[in-house]
Amino acid sequence: MRELRTFELDKPGHPVSWRAGYGQTVCAVAGKLWVTVEGNPNDIWLEPGAELVLPEGYRVWLSGDGAGARFTLAQVPAPWPLRRLAAWLRVMRHRVEEHSTDAFGECPRIWALCR
């Protein structure tokens, strides 16, 4: 299963930007699309019907050649083990932040309880 979202660019020459997620693909539906991917020195032009698989984690800029340019953004969900790992990493980061110390070496959470 994959999720499909359709977008229309209302201002030609004004790019939209996002960081590509796992399994994202851009497909031009109407109008010509100009795509720039972080780290890639070449710009990519997509004609209607053409699609581009986006590299995960890279910033993407996308703009239309004219008014009314449309594209779909397809995304497949990450495999179950990868989603579990990401969830575990979020929990661990929260625990580390919760117990981190300030510049004076005191734990802010415990200090707040003593007052």
- Which pLDDT score is estimated for 111? 45
The contacts found for 1-5 with CB under 8 angstroms, 24 or more apart, are 1/76, 1/77, 2/74, 2/75, 2/76, 2/77, 3/74, 3/75, 3/76, 3/77, 4/72, 4/73, 4/74, 5/72, 5/73, 5/74
Q: Which helix (H) or strand (E) holds 64?
A: strand 59-64
- Which pLDDT score is estimated for 105? 58
Per-residue pLDDT of the chain (115 residues; tens, 9 = 90+): 667 778 888 877 788 888 888 888 899 998 888 998 888 888 899 999 998 988 888 888 998 887 778 888 888 776 777 767 777 787 787 777 766 655 555 555 554 444 4
Q: Which pair of tokens denotes residue 79?
A: 């495999």
Sorted by where each starts, the structural domains of the chain and their CATH numbers stand as 3-75 (2.60.120.10), 80-114 (no CATH)
- Which pLDDT score is estimated for 45? 92
68 within 8 A of 31, measured Cβ to Cβ: yes
